[in-house]
Amino acid sequence: MELSTNGPGNELAPKEAGLVLATQDVLTATIAQLAKDLERSAERITGPAADPGAFEALRGEVLPLLEEHLEEGSLDRVLYRVDVPERWTADALRTGGLHELAGRVVLRALQKVLTRRRFSGSGGATP
């Protein structure tokens, strides 16, 4: 699964997401976006080190939060808030379950951060 960050031809896959998340300010903004979208306090996402392994570390932190929302019956509402396309959700659940869906949630939060930076004039780190 790839995620467009700046239009066609500028897709961001999980491997590249790790490189972008290696920038501390992008990582911090992505963690804040995740906490907001997942309706959990920022303390629930401890935040990995800003390095290429940050994507997988964030996925690991998001997974139990998605499991909580699933148990509470609020997963659909949270996915709507995160703005994960229905096609991504169905594909993720079919191919890798909640683990894959957690990765897509992280990618979507990162996309929001990079898009906001691009249009605010503060630039967006893209590989």
79 within a domain of the structure (yes/no): yes
Task: Check residue 18 and give its pLDDT.
Answer: 66
Q: What is the DSSP string of 17-76?
A: HHHHTTSHHHHHHHHHHHHHHTTS-GGGS----SSTTHHHHHHHHHHHHHHHHHHHT-HH
124 within a domain of the structure (yes/no): no
Task: Check residue 60 and give its pLDDT.
Answer: 94
Domain that holds residue 29: 3-119
Model pTM score: 0.81
How confident is the model over 98-121, as a mean pLDDT? 91
For the chain, what is the domain count? 1
User: 51-62: per-residue pLDDT in tens?
Assistant: 888 899 999 999
pLDDT band (50, 70, 90) for residue 96: very high
User: 38-95: per-residue pLDDT in tens?
Assistant: 987 667 887 788 888 889 999 999 999 999 999 999 999 999 999 988 898 999 999 9
54 within a domain of the structure (yes/no): yes
126 within a domain of the structure (yes/no): no
Rounded CA-CA distance 5/23 in Å is 16
Phi, psi of 53 (to 5 degrees): -85, 5
Task: Check residue 127 and give its pLDDT.
Answer: 44
127 within a domain of the structure (yes/no): no
81 within a domain of the structure (yes/no): yes
Q: How far is CA 124 from CA 21, 31, 79, 112, 121, in A?
A: 11, 16, 24, 11, 9
Rounded CA-CA distance 92/122 in Å is 32
Tokens of 102: 């957690």
In the block, which residue shows the tokens 């920022």? 42
Query: Can you say how many angstroms the Cα of residue 67 is from the centroid of all Cα atoms in its chain?
Result: 16
Given a cut of 80, whether residue 4 has pLDDT beyond it is no
